[in-house]
Structure 1
């Protein structure tokens, strides 16, 4: 294992220098300096240098760089999910040689590289003994978001609706709700019905062949949580028909186009008297929490939480992986193998 004294001074990393024409057209895998200067003998306070074995892609990994006021202005290493081995750390509860996973802070990113610097104590957690790094590599962003959108809002026996049950976040949300003893209804496209059923969903709606809002209205079920992972405003505007008055409509950042931004703003700002929704929406912004990561990892070790991996890419194929992610049709997660475990 590399140490601060023996590690190389450069590493392979996937970085972008422009988002013109799409970030996937501007990714290069090149040799860059390690995130710690070659002659450094100490790490910054509350930081950990990790040799990365696996990373996983998330929409935020391209949406942030492609923002109009960001894109093309800086070279930056992509990616935030990581799973790997600690080289050195200043954290009291993490040790060199320990296997860890989590996410780097955004917009720092930096995980699509052979080494990543992780700042803070809440974005990193130990991997349980016997669990392969590959099995926890995608929990950093998607697993944490799903956890925080479901766990605080439900009790055993509650009913949960997940819009986008086969996606990176949604497929975790279905499993987490089932782990907690909830009944789950989820949407997906026809080819993914079997996957979502295998995750434990009690009822699966093919949104290509079924009007989801009409189905929910006719079903007569009163849900405790509506978790919208794909930004479908129509589900919110009719939520008073199928979401308990005390229930929660939980959503996450969607597309950055004008129509989506306008709809999201209307959800949160338009009062009921002016035609606003009759249920209060909640925006789920991930909050780094090592305790949440620890529980997710425990469920993985117990075999109760699994990552559906559509495809595993090598680091050199990062541009291809981003192109697939941007299609919006991924089934579960896309992994990037950076190095051997």
Structure 2
């Protein structure tokens, strides 16, 4: 019997978490369409990946929860998630360096709305790297945004023997930052709460400051001008950059990574970038990091993980149906490392 035209033209489907609004919290608006969603198509420089594990990042919920601002940035409906580890299913003509069946990790890095909490994800070849043999999908899934951010915030600004201060060492980016700085031969001081001090020490931090019981700026000022780099994953205290000349060398650098999304935060960072020192601004080089696609840097992090120099830190793992609860965990801001969601169903995670 001949196949009907309607059947031949039927769009392939996949399963995916989606949302149409974030009012009341993204986690309260996620749903699984019973009929599935269209399977994405690739262009010549992209790769189609079947997602095994996905990792959540704060931006995955903070951007959708911007309200009216988010409407111009995110389509409706949308699938959240940026980071992943999975298997190559299809490659474009200009992405032939990847082979079907390869295990890869990376981050979507593109427009919000077509994320890693779907069965398949389309990714630029520059935002991927091969998974070293024997490493687990859960461990590699969280490398993308956090690992690449940590690398780009540190590596360009240091040399072996430099002292680095990382504000916020126990979160996703901070845990990678401590280890990457150590892999580059730096002395690392970091801040966290008392509950996370042991974690940061185990990751290699040479000194850990409990920001809840000590005045962070005053503690750093007492050390003198010793740090070549400050990486701020927190955005607080608000005067950290303005007073950093007391503890950062003259040619030093201040890289802003993490911060709240909002008007007050935007004004603070605008002031950091443009307000001159004689008007109360900072006196050291300031950069608000914008993540850039880089296959080679992802591959380097993968190599360090394979060598045992960097160990991905997993806070918790969640099955696919529990994705909303995974977001609830992330939003507590108490996660130590990455929050992972198993996306591929009915397999033993490796």
TM range (shorter): over 0.9
Contact 1:14 1:27 in 2 (8 A): yes
Q: CA deviation at 1:99?
A: 0.4
Q: Contact 1:135/1:300 (CA < 8 Å) preserved in 2?
A: no
Paired with 2:308 and 2:65, the residues of 1 have a C-alpha distance of 37
Aligned-partner Cα distance in 2 for 1:195–1:14 = 32
1:163-182 equivalence runs, <5 A: 163-182=167-186
Stretch deviating more after TM superposition (254-263 or 239-248): 254-263
Offset at residue 237 of structure 1 (A): 1.1
Partner of 1:85: 87
Distance (whole Å) between structure 2 residues aligned to residue 238 and residue 295 of structure 1: 34
- Are 1:336 and 2:335 counterparts? no
Pairwise CA distance, 1:221: 5.0
2:4 aligned partner: none
Alpha-carbon distance between aligned partners in 1 of 2:235 and 2:285, rounded to the nearest angstrom: 15
Name the structure 2 match of 1:305.
310
1:157 Cα deviation from its structure 2 partner? 0.3
Does the alignment pair 1:315 with 2:314? no
User: Is the contact between residue 139 and residue 314 of structure 2 (CA under 8 Å) also seen in structure 1?
Assistant: no
Q: Secondary structure at the match of 1:268?
A: helix
Q: CA deviation at 1:128?
A: 1.2
Aligned to 1:12: 15
Q: Which residue in 2 is equivalent to 1:48?
A: 47
Q: How many matched pairs?
A: 329
Q: Which moved more, 1:158-167 or 1:247-256?
A: 247-256
Contact persistence 1:18–1:73 (CA under 8 A): no
Range that drifts further, 166-175 or 129-138: 129-138
Task: List structure 1 runs of 4+ shifted beyond 6 angstroms.
Answer: none
Q: 1:73 to 1:289 in 2, by over 3 A?
A: closer
TM-score (structure 1 length as normaliser): 0.92
Contact 1:225/1:248 (<8 A) preserved: yes
Task: Please list every run of 5 or more consecutive structure 2 residues that lacks an aligned counterpart in the other structure.
Answer: 1-10
Aligned to 1:219, the other structure's residue is in SS state coil
Question: In the alignment, which residue of structure 2 is the partner of 1:35?
Answer: 39
Q: Deviations along 1:37-74, whole A, 9 cap, x unmatched?
A: 7xxxxx42112111110000001111221223225961
After superposition, residues 128-277 of structure 1 pair within 5 angstroms as 128-232=132-236, 233-277=238-282
**Aligned counterparts of 1:296 and 1:335: Cα–Cα separation in 2:** 19
In the TM superposition, 1:52-63 aligns within 5 A as 52-63=51-62
Matched, 1:70 2:70: yes
Q: Quick one: distance in 2 between partners of 1:177 and 1:36?
A: 37
**3-state SS in 1 of match to 2:109:** coil
In structure 1, C-alpha distance between the alignment counterparts of 2:257 and 2:91, rounded to whole Å: 32
Answering whether residue 288 of structure 2 is matched by residue 283 of structure 1, we say yes
How far 1:283 sits from its partner (Å)?
Answer: 1.1
d(CA) in 2 for partners of 1:285 and 1:163?
18
